[in-house]
Amino acid sequence: MSTDGLIVVDKPGGMTSHDVVARIRRLARTRRVGHGGTLDPMATGVLVIGVGRATRLLTYVIGAGKSYTATVRLGQATVTDDAEGDVIATTPAGQVTDEAIRGALAALTGEIDQVPSAVSAIKVDGQRAYKRVRDGETVELPARRVTVSRLELLAVRRDSPDVVDVDIDVTCSSGTYIRAIARDAGLALGVGGHLSALRRTAVGGFALAEAAALDELEERAPEVVNLPLDAAADRFFPRRDAGADEAKVLSHGGPLDPAGILGPYAVFGPDGGLIAIVSERDGRARAEIVLAPA
């Protein structure tokens, strides 16, 4: 069985995130596999996979900031706000100027209230929104506050008279929908818009440069983990080193004296092994999860 740890996968198009998890379960020869943030089937790029005890780190990975390159097609609106859905409206977009496009993107930068796509995986009364839409319901989701820290215009392509393809580079908070950015830019410009391509380039500090294709992982199975648990935690969290007595207390779930580190942070024992992910509150450093082997 593979070592506990993380795998940074370059997800191919046409697969769901669950499809990738299923493949890794087979390669790693363990059922204990999960992913750190869904990518739609049409999307490619960074998908962080946890194996074994490292699946417990995924809740932090999911909450990390993310970066993408994407293409927004102006002139066509779709039911899903991306290229996987049927076109529901067309408006010739050839007259939209580069300056107007820059203005629409600028208005979607910073802290914004974003309405998620109606076909998102958000639950409405216990059922996924996309399931309700597919069943013929009209779903209106409330806006969420998200942060788009960077929304850079890379190129404007006018390869046909009625649509304009806009390539963008985005860095944003967890929970931001890039297809909602495409939809809202199209609405602001009065021509409609949808996301026609999406590639995730980073999740937290994990970037495409270290991502492995599934074919590469097939070749080295079952040794598919490229960031063992200790190294993964050291990369992702601030670090605290504990003495022998502290390590014993913490490994049994007990609190430590605070160290003044903004948490959550990783605590390592004298042997360099990861003990727990800790946060400080009420004057004590308390474990959020204990990861030391039993």
Condensed to tens digits (0 to 9), the pLDDT of residues 104-156 reads 999 999 999 999 887 666 666 666 666 666 656 666 778 999 999 999 999 99
DSSP assignment of 258-290: -----SSEEEE-TTS-EEEEEEEETTEEEEEEE
| Residue with tokens 């995986």, as numbered in its chain | 121
Q: What is the mean pLDDT of residues 5-13?
A: 97
Structural contact between residues 72 and 194, judged by C-beta atoms closer than 8 angstroms: yes
Looking only at the bridges linking them, the beta strands covering 193-203 and 123-124 are unpaired
Q: Is 215 a catalytic residue?
A: no
Q: Give the mean pLDDT of 88-97.
A: 96
Q: In the β-sheet with 239-241, what is the strand arrangement from edge to edge?
A: 239-241, 265-268, 274-281, 284-290
| Confidence band of 294 (pLDDT split at 50, 70, 90) | low
Instruction: Give residue 142's pLDDT.
Output: 83
The active-site residue out of 40, 81, 184, 230 is 40
pLDDT exceeds cutoff 60 at 219? yes
Provide the pairing of β-strand 164-172 with 33-35: unpaired
pTM, entire model? 0.91
Question: How big is the chain, counted in residues?
Answer: 294
Rounded to whole angstroms, how far apart are CA atoms 229 and 227? 6
Helix axes 178-189, 98-106, angle to 10 degrees: 130
pLDDT at 176: 95
Q: What is the mean pLDDT of residues 31-58?
A: 95
Q: Is the pLDDT of residue 42 over 80?
A: yes
